[in-house]
Amino acid sequence: MRLLLVEDDAMIGEAVRKGMRQEGFVVDWVRDAGAAEHALRAEPYDLLLLDLGLPGKSGLDLLEELRGRGENLPVLILTARDAVADRVQGLDRGADDYLVKPFDLDELAARIRALLRRREGRARPQIVHGALVLDPATHGAVFDGRELTFSGREFALLQALLEQPGAVLSRARLEERLYGWGEEVESNAVEVHVHHLRKKLGADFIRTVRGVGYMVPKAP
Protein backbone atom coordinates (compact mmCIF):
# COMPACT_ATOMS: atom_id res chain seq x y z
CA MET A 1 0.00 0.00 0.00
CA ARG A 2 1.40 3.35 -1.01
CA LEU A 3 0.80 6.46 1.08
CA LEU A 4 1.42 10.12 0.35
CA LEU A 5 2.39 12.10 3.42
CA VAL A 6 1.95 15.90 3.28
CA GLU A 7 3.70 17.39 6.30
CA ASP A 8 5.95 20.45 6.64
CA ASP A 9 7.34 19.60 10.08
CA ALA A 10 10.64 17.76 9.51
CA MET A 11 10.61 15.82 12.77
CA ILE A 12 7.02 14.63 12.48
CA GLY A 13 7.45 13.86 8.78
CA GLU A 14 10.56 11.78 9.39
CA ALA A 15 8.95 9.92 12.30
CA VAL A 16 5.78 9.13 10.34
CA ARG A 17 7.69 8.05 7.22
CA LYS A 18 9.98 5.78 9.21
CA GLY A 19 7.19 4.39 11.38
CA MET A 20 4.84 3.63 8.50
CA ARG A 21 7.65 2.04 6.46
CA GLN A 22 8.27 -0.27 9.40
CA GLU A 23 4.57 -1.17 9.20
CA GLY A 24 5.12 -2.25 5.59
CA PHE A 25 3.67 0.78 3.81
CA VAL A 26 5.40 2.55 0.95
CA VAL A 27 5.58 6.22 1.96
CA ASP A 28 6.36 9.26 -0.19
CA TRP A 29 6.73 12.53 1.70
CA VAL A 30 6.10 16.07 0.44
CA ARG A 31 6.06 19.29 2.45
CA ASP A 32 3.41 21.45 0.79
CA ALA A 33 0.15 21.33 -1.14
CA GLY A 34 1.73 22.10 -4.52
CA ALA A 35 4.13 19.17 -4.27
CA ALA A 36 1.24 16.99 -3.12
CA GLU A 37 -0.75 17.91 -6.25
CA HIS A 38 2.20 16.91 -8.45
CA ALA A 39 2.66 13.63 -6.63
CA LEU A 40 -1.04 12.75 -6.79
CA ARG A 41 -1.03 13.28 -10.54
CA ALA A 42 2.10 11.18 -11.02
CA GLU A 43 1.56 8.16 -8.76
CA PRO A 44 -1.32 5.90 -7.76
CA TYR A 45 -1.70 6.36 -3.99
CA ASP A 46 -3.91 4.33 -1.71
CA LEU A 47 -4.24 6.96 1.02
CA LEU A 48 -3.32 10.54 1.85
CA LEU A 49 -1.95 11.63 5.23
CA LEU A 50 -2.58 15.35 5.34
CA ASP A 51 -1.30 17.99 7.74
CA LEU A 52 -3.65 21.01 7.83
CA GLY A 53 -1.18 23.79 8.72
CA LEU A 54 1.05 23.93 5.64
CA PRO A 55 3.09 26.78 4.15
CA GLY A 56 1.13 28.35 1.26
CA LYS A 57 -2.09 26.57 0.43
CA SER A 58 -3.64 24.97 3.52
CA GLY A 59 -4.38 21.29 3.86
CA LEU A 60 -8.10 22.07 4.07
CA ASP A 61 -8.04 23.89 0.74
CA LEU A 62 -6.09 21.06 -0.88
CA LEU A 63 -8.62 18.59 0.48
CA GLU A 64 -11.56 20.60 -0.82
CA GLU A 65 -10.00 20.79 -4.30
CA LEU A 66 -9.32 17.06 -4.37
CA ARG A 67 -12.88 16.20 -3.42
CA GLY A 68 -14.17 18.88 -5.83
CA ARG A 69 -12.68 17.03 -8.76
CA GLY A 70 -13.94 13.67 -7.60
CA GLU A 71 -10.70 12.30 -6.11
CA ASN A 72 -11.91 9.58 -3.79
CA LEU A 73 -8.77 8.26 -2.10
CA PRO A 74 -9.05 7.99 1.70
CA VAL A 75 -7.73 11.06 3.54
CA LEU A 76 -6.54 11.03 7.13
CA ILE A 77 -5.89 14.46 8.61
CA LEU A 78 -2.93 14.98 10.93
CA THR A 79 -3.26 18.19 12.82
CA ALA A 80 -1.83 20.02 15.79
CA ARG A 81 -4.99 22.09 15.94
CA ASP A 82 -7.12 20.25 18.39
CA ALA A 83 -10.01 22.68 18.26
CA VAL A 84 -13.25 20.83 17.63
CA ALA A 85 -14.14 23.27 14.83
CA ASP A 86 -11.06 22.27 12.79
CA ARG A 87 -11.83 18.59 13.04
CA VAL A 88 -15.45 19.15 12.11
CA GLN A 89 -14.41 21.27 9.15
CA GLY A 90 -11.89 18.68 7.99
CA LEU A 91 -14.39 15.86 8.11
CA ASP A 92 -17.10 17.95 6.47
CA ARG A 93 -14.76 18.94 3.65
CA GLY A 94 -14.12 15.31 2.83
CA ALA A 95 -11.58 13.80 5.21
CA ASP A 96 -12.29 10.25 6.36
CA ASP A 97 -10.56 10.36 9.72
CA TYR A 98 -8.17 12.50 11.77
CA LEU A 99 -5.49 12.28 14.42
CA VAL A 100 -4.51 15.13 16.70
CA LYS A 101 -0.77 15.65 17.24
CA PRO A 102 1.03 14.32 19.12
CA PHE A 103 -0.23 10.89 18.16
CA ASP A 104 0.94 7.35 18.61
CA LEU A 105 2.40 5.69 15.50
CA ASP A 106 0.71 2.38 16.31
CA GLU A 107 -2.64 4.14 16.36
CA LEU A 108 -1.87 5.88 13.08
CA ALA A 109 -1.04 2.53 11.43
CA ALA A 110 -4.23 0.94 12.77
CA ARG A 111 -6.35 3.84 11.50
CA ILE A 112 -4.71 3.58 8.07
CA ARG A 113 -5.48 -0.14 7.92
CA ALA A 114 -9.09 0.53 8.95
CA LEU A 115 -9.54 3.13 6.19
CA LEU A 116 -8.00 0.87 3.55
CA ARG A 117 -10.19 -1.98 4.68
CA ARG A 118 -13.29 0.16 4.38
CA ARG A 119 -12.23 1.32 0.93
CA GLU A 120 -12.00 -2.30 -0.18
CA GLY A 121 -15.43 -3.00 1.28
CA ARG A 122 -13.98 -5.45 3.78
CA ALA A 123 -15.35 -5.56 7.33
CA ARG A 124 -13.07 -8.37 8.43
CA PRO A 125 -9.50 -7.31 9.24
CA GLN A 126 -8.02 -10.38 7.54
CA ILE A 127 -7.89 -10.85 3.79
CA VAL A 128 -9.24 -14.27 2.87
CA HIS A 129 -8.80 -15.87 -0.54
CA GLY A 130 -9.56 -19.56 -0.82
CA ALA A 131 -7.22 -21.35 1.59
CA LEU A 132 -5.11 -18.25 2.20
CA VAL A 133 -5.64 -15.85 5.12
CA LEU A 134 -3.51 -12.69 5.33
CA ASP A 135 -3.41 -10.37 8.32
CA PRO A 136 -2.33 -6.85 7.26
CA ALA A 137 -1.82 -5.81 10.90
CA THR A 138 0.76 -8.48 11.74
CA HIS A 139 1.80 -9.49 8.19
CA GLY A 140 1.05 -13.03 9.28
CA ALA A 141 -0.30 -15.57 6.80
CA VAL A 142 -1.90 -18.97 6.96
CA PHE A 143 -2.25 -21.15 3.86
CA ASP A 144 -4.04 -24.50 4.01
CA GLY A 145 -3.65 -24.44 7.79
CA ARG A 146 0.13 -23.82 7.61
CA GLU A 147 1.74 -20.63 8.83
CA LEU A 148 3.74 -18.87 6.15
CA THR A 149 6.08 -15.91 6.32
CA PHE A 150 6.48 -13.37 3.59
CA SER A 151 8.93 -10.51 3.16
CA GLY A 152 7.41 -7.03 3.30
CA ARG A 153 7.38 -6.71 -0.48
CA GLU A 154 6.08 -10.23 -1.06
CA PHE A 155 3.22 -9.40 1.28
CA ALA A 156 2.55 -6.08 -0.46
CA LEU A 157 2.57 -7.70 -3.90
CA LEU A 158 0.17 -10.40 -2.80
CA GLN A 159 -2.09 -7.84 -1.15
CA ALA A 160 -2.18 -5.76 -4.34
CA LEU A 161 -3.19 -8.78 -6.44
CA LEU A 162 -5.79 -9.91 -3.91
CA GLU A 163 -7.50 -6.53 -3.90
CA GLN A 164 -8.87 -7.29 -7.35
CA PRO A 165 -8.91 -11.04 -7.95
CA GLY A 166 -9.18 -11.77 -11.66
CA ALA A 167 -7.71 -8.40 -12.63
CA VAL A 168 -4.34 -8.32 -14.36
CA LEU A 169 -1.77 -5.90 -12.89
CA SER A 170 1.19 -4.93 -15.05
CA ARG A 171 4.74 -5.14 -13.77
CA ALA A 172 4.96 -1.31 -13.84
CA ARG A 173 1.79 -0.97 -11.79
CA LEU A 174 3.08 -3.47 -9.22
CA GLU A 175 6.44 -1.68 -9.01
CA GLU A 176 4.55 1.55 -8.28
CA ARG A 177 2.78 -0.17 -5.43
CA LEU A 178 5.91 -1.72 -3.98
CA TYR A 179 8.52 1.01 -4.25
CA GLY A 180 8.48 4.66 -3.20
CA TRP A 181 10.62 7.53 -4.46
CA GLY A 182 14.32 6.97 -4.15
CA GLU A 183 13.99 3.24 -3.59
CA GLU A 184 16.01 1.32 -6.10
CA VAL A 185 14.02 -1.17 -8.18
CA GLU A 186 15.99 -4.01 -9.75
CA SER A 187 14.70 -4.61 -13.27
CA ASN A 188 13.46 -8.11 -12.44
CA ALA A 189 12.31 -7.35 -8.86
CA VAL A 190 8.64 -8.18 -9.45
CA GLU A 191 9.52 -11.48 -11.19
CA VAL A 192 11.72 -12.44 -8.24
CA HIS A 193 8.96 -11.69 -5.69
CA VAL A 194 6.46 -13.68 -7.78
CA HIS A 195 8.90 -16.58 -7.97
CA HIS A 196 9.23 -16.64 -4.17
CA LEU A 197 5.47 -16.38 -3.69
CA ARG A 198 4.88 -19.30 -6.05
CA LYS A 199 7.33 -21.43 -4.07
CA LYS A 200 5.23 -20.80 -0.96
CA LEU A 201 1.73 -20.85 -2.45
CA GLY A 202 2.09 -23.22 -5.37
CA ALA A 203 2.87 -22.49 -9.00
CA ASP A 204 -0.75 -21.75 -9.96
CA PHE A 205 -1.66 -19.27 -7.27
CA ILE A 206 -0.34 -16.30 -9.27
CA ARG A 207 -0.88 -16.53 -13.02
CA THR A 208 1.29 -14.84 -15.60
CA VAL A 209 -0.67 -13.20 -18.39
CA ARG A 210 1.92 -13.06 -21.12
CA GLY A 211 2.79 -9.55 -22.25
CA VAL A 212 0.33 -8.01 -19.77
CA GLY A 213 1.18 -8.85 -16.17
CA TYR A 214 0.08 -10.96 -13.24
CA MET A 215 -3.18 -11.93 -11.61
CA VAL A 216 -4.66 -14.11 -8.91
CA PRO A 217 -7.78 -15.86 -10.24
CA LYS A 218 -11.02 -15.33 -8.34
CA ALA A 219 -11.50 -17.77 -5.48
CA PRO A 220 -13.67 -20.76 -6.50
Q: Which is nearer to Ca ion, 8 or 65 (CB)?
A: 8
Minimum Å distance from CB 173 to Ca ion? 32
Minimum Å distance from CB 142 to Ca ion? 41
Query: What is the footprint of Ca ion within residues 172-211 (CB under 5 A)?
Result: none
Is residue 152 close enough to count as binding Ca ion by CB under 5 A?
A: no
Minimum Å distance from CB 208 to Ca ion? 45
# residues contacting Ca ion (CB under 5 A): 3
Minimum Å distance from CB 86 to Ca ion? 12
Q: Which is nearer to Ca ion, 98 or 150 (CB)?
A: 98
Segment contacting Ca ion by CB under 5 A, of 8-16, 22-30, 164-172, 182-190: 8-16
Report the candidate in 57, 55, 99, 107 with the shortest Cα–Cα distance to residue 80.
99
Query: What is the footprint of Ca ion within residues 48-107 (CB under 5 A)?
Result: 51, 53
Sites of contact with Ca ion (CB under 5 A):
8, 51, 53
